[in-house]
Amino acid sequence: MRCRYLKQGTITFLAIAVIIVGGCGPKILRPDPGVPGMGGPRVGGPLVEQDLQAVQVNLRVVYFDYDQYNLTPEAQATANYNAEILKGAPHLAVLIEGHCDQRGTDEYNLALGEKRARAVAEYLTTLGVPNRLSTVSYGSELPADPGHNESAWAKNRRAQMRVSR
């Protein structure tokens, strides 16, 4: 009898925890001079790995339309979001990776991936992102989704950002 109540209590607790955690939206780590890695260069010590991860985990992927490298309004909104995060950590370098879906030749996809990465870099520059920006194209070599349908291809047409010291 006691075990049954314990199980019900555990299930109730877990259900409440899922509701509470599930209701939380994504949070941006705001620049704070008191938090290492989020308020600019620190004096007296290297940037710790947790600081890099705090910035990296908040960056979102910028997606593109088929055979395009111009930023749609949705892509611009994502880049604006990322710019706010990167402005809070100007001491970090940012590598912008351009990706494509599996359609097209390797040469074409590499060129399109580079155009996508550069488009994001140029847009971030116009927003005043002070970070050191560089680009690379992986073409279709590193798909986010290996499927062969429109849903998978849409996930693969992207630019991702990686931060480093």
Domains in the chain: boundaries: 2-164
Fold classification of 2-164 (topology level):
60s Ribosomal Protein L30; Chain: A; (3.30.1330)
Q: pLDDT tens across 3-32, in order?
A: 554 455 555 554 454 444 444 444 444 444
Contact 75, 62 (CB under 8 A): yes
Q: pLDDT tens across 49-66, in order?
A: 668 899 999 999 999 999
Contact 145, 99 (CB under 8 A): no
- On the CB side of 46, CA atoms within 13 Å amount to 6
Quote the mean pLDDT of the chain.
81
Q: pLDDT tens across 100-124, in order?
A: 999 999 999 999 999 999 999 999 9
